[in-house]
Structure 1
């Protein structure tokens, strides 16, 4: 059991779910599938300020300086945060910064259990060194993540976009609020078989409605 309340107070800040929704008697899988913010933020008191940063670096290869993808890029950053900012990081807000290639890599890491740095230009061209992660994902964590991502693709916020692509698939949607912008950026990351993809639509609103169909079309074309 892991409810997702309408609001959650942390370090003087009150967090809300989209449309003030709530899941009173559900599980974390239900909240993951519904993209219910406060079920994630509820973990903040159980974590140290550096836990999210260390997990991102050690398992997903995120925030390991430059990924050296072959062209100039702004790469993922999951800085150490505290208080309300740490809670915001748990839903990909606050100081967290990502690009679609980062998020495609996250889905790929879940699918395979191991981080492999993506690139746009082969490292054989200039013999550059790719980023590595210091440890692999545990079998238990991988199994649980694949379960909740498949649930999201089957029944959750990604179901409409991912329809007909199963059964070996998983997805996660996101809506990232931006200061001064009426609608949040719509995010979507997913895998199908051994192919992973992600996308963002600026001011797109719900990721499942905007970025989702684009990512799903790419996965569909991948065979």
Structure 2
């Protein structure tokens, strides 16, 4: 799961990233309004943590731009501006949640988990598809009740495929999800192919059906 941290307080941004990385989230940063606007409009994120007071502009305008573009990224506003009207305005524009500074990092992680669970997994902590079960809280995968050990990248890929089930996901989108905005400068997709191959092999050897289909020339699709 990929997170964009839009925050100009470097120490706070780094502390959030350190904590969330330990929770198996991939974190990117944006410190200015222009950088945040570019990343939010160009790439897809499972959750955007949005500070309202940024060098160069108002964070609320980023939220407005995302909603005008019909982007489905989850947004949690994180701001020292605790006025009721700011919370109401952000939620009315389309933010999913609002967290006032200062806050505890476990609460932030819980809010992110709740948002992603609600948006991608029907508000459930368990995803089941026939013999396959994913426990989102324990971050475990089982096939026929036997545990399948996945690397962090393989687990991220699996969740990304399932959250986009029955949709064709391009190789570019997958590369960006795993590697962030550096994906555009990579020479090839060999690293992506290796992760997908290993994921499919582990699931198949454990007894799972082949739900992950290759759409030649386009990308991949998880069939439910």
TM-score (norm: length of structure 2): 0.32
Q: Which has the higher strand share?
A: 2
Task: Give the helix-richer structure, 1 or 2.
Answer: 2
Larger radius of gyration: 2
Question: Structure 1 length as normaliser, TM-score?
Answer: 0.32
